[in-house]
């Protein structure tokens, strides 16, 4: 009986041992499979460009698009009609104030003027004779007054006719540069028909608009700088001359007028330019390329590269992984944007390739080709 019970105990112990061995083996098998599964499903590294964020001197600016306008500009027209007798200019000429530009035939008016001049001379002779007669009391005061009035009337008629002739001689009202004309000698010119454009381009006005919230940041005499396709590498500076006294109720913008020197004639009225206005003292701000920022409905985000060690491999070097951060952005300047909150100097920020990233993605930094990061970018030559 005792022998039978010990035999059963041995069989039971062997069975329990086998069960435990099977359980342990199964757990080791599951752990091995999980390790293989996790290794096969680990995130592959992503290749990105990155840079360390640093502080740069940042000049606060307001920007606008303006239109150039000549300080003096007019479309030359005629007050009278007639046949063009002679043209004294060529398209594009530089003229001085008072230069004769065009003559309209005034032969008929000149003949009338000669007749009036003869009448005036006769009236002068009669008036002098009457003065002599009045001195010896040969005529009355009334007759002398009538003679003087007649002379005055003759002079007025002569001056009127001379003014008619002068209107047929078109002169430059101020110094400047002429445009293109399509008028030819012998052509009949109607009253108020355009002859040629005259623009004084030595100085130009810039008309632009700013939102009403910036009215307190600008004042007459403040420096402005211009940029545009015509300006090239040349710095063009000017000053604010006038700020409109009212805000447009339709747009809530205020009109601003500036003036810029154009002695070399490089700029022309009607051109558009980009206007930059310096406001306040320069500040030290963290700056990044605009490509580093992702703008979303819930805020602006970027990815930074953080070092991360694998707890299972304590001796292995740390690897770089992506971490998404929310940031507060400020003004933009060229390719750059100012970061006001969310970063500190020295952080390594992903500047391109972030669309394929999520938190924890391993990173490979390759800065062979970097995104644009210029404060004042210039067009590349084609």
- For residue 279, the SS3 value is coil
Which pLDDT score, from 0 to 100, does residue 268 have? 87
Q: Which fold, 46-58+283-365? A: 2.40.420
d(CA 327, CA 322): 15
Which pLDDT score, from 0 to 100, does residue 187 have? 93
Tell me the domain boundaries of the chain: 46-58+283-365, 62-70+197-278, 106-167
Which pLDDT score, from 0 to 100, does residue 309 have? 73
Q: What is the DSSP letter of 353?
A: -
Would you give per-residue pLDDT tens digits along the chain (382 residues)? 555 556 666 667 666 666 666 677 666 765 665 555 444 446 788 899 999 998 888 888 888 999 999 988 899 999 999 999 999 999 999 999 999 999 999 999 999 999 999 999 999 999 999 899 988 888 899 998 999 999 999 999 999 999 999 999 999 999 999 999 999 999 999 999 999 999 998 889 999 999 999 998 899 999 998 876 555 556 688 999 999 999 999 999 999 999 998 888 888 888 888 898 988 788 889 999 999 999 888 889 999 999 887 665 656 577 889 999 999 998 888 888 999 999 999 999 999 988 888 898 889 889 888 888 887 776 555 4
d(CA 377, CA 171): 46
Strands 363-365 and 348-352 come out as unpaired
Which pLDDT score, from 0 to 100, does residue 204 have? 92
Q: Which CATH number fits domain 62-70+197-278: 3.40.50.920, 3.40.50.460, 2.70.98.50, 2.40.30.170?
A: 2.40.30.170
Helix residue ranges, H only, the chain:
2-40, 107-135, 141-167
Which pLDDT score, from 0 to 100, does residue 266 have? 82
Which pLDDT score, from 0 to 100, does residue 206 have? 94
Is the domain defined by 106-167 classed in CATH 3.30.70? no
Q: What is the DSSP letter of 222?
A: -
Which pLDDT score, from 0 to 100, does residue 38 have? 46
């Amino acid at each position: 009986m005792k022998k039978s019970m010990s035999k059963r105990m041995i069989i039971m112990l062997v069975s329990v041992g086998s069960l435990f061995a099977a359980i342990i083996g199964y757990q080791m098998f599951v752990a091995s499979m999980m390790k293989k599964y996790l290794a096969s499903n680990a995130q592959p590294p992503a290749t990105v460009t990155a840079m360390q964020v640093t502080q740069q001197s940042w000049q606060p600016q307001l920007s606008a698009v303006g239109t150039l306008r000549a300080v003096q500009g007019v479309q030359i027209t005629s007050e009278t009609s007639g046949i063009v007798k002679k043209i004294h200019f060529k398209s594009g000429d530089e003229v001085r104030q008072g230069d004769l530009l065009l003559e309209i035939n005034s032969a008929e008016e000149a003949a009338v003027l000669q007749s009036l001049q003869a009448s005036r001379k006769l009236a002068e002779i009669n008036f002098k004779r009457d003065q002599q007669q009045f001195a010896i009391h040969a005529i009355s005061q009334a007759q002398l007054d009538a003679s003087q009035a007649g002379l005055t009337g003759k002079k007025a008629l002569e001056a009127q006719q001379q003014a008619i002739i002068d209107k047929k001689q078109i002169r430059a009202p101020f110094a400047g540069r002429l445009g293109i004309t399509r008028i030819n000698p012998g052509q009949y010119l109607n009253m108020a028909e355009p002859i040629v454009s005259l623009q004084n381009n030595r100085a130009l006005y810039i008309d632009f608009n700013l939102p009403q919230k910036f009215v307190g940041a600008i004042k007459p005499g403040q420096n402005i700088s211009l940029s545009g396709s015509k300006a090239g590498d040349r710095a063009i500076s000017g000053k604010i001359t006038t700020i409109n006294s009212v805000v447009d109720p339709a747009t809530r913008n205020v009109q601003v007028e500036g003036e810029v020197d154009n002695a070399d004639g490089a700029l022309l009225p009607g051109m558009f330019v980009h206007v930059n206005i310096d406001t306040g003292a320069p500040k030290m701000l963290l700056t990044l390329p605009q490509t580093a920022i992702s703008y979303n409905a819930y805020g602006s985000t970027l990815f930074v590269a953080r070092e991360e060690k694998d707890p299972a491999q304590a001796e292995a070097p740390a690897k770089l992984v992506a971490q998404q951060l929310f940031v507060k952005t400020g003004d933009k300047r060229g390719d750059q944007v100012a970061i006001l909150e969310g970063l500190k100097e020295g952080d390594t920020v992903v500047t391109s390739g972030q669309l394929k990233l999520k938190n924890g993605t391993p990173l490979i930094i390759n800065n062979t080709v970097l995104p644009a990061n210029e404060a004042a970018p210039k067009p590349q030559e084609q």
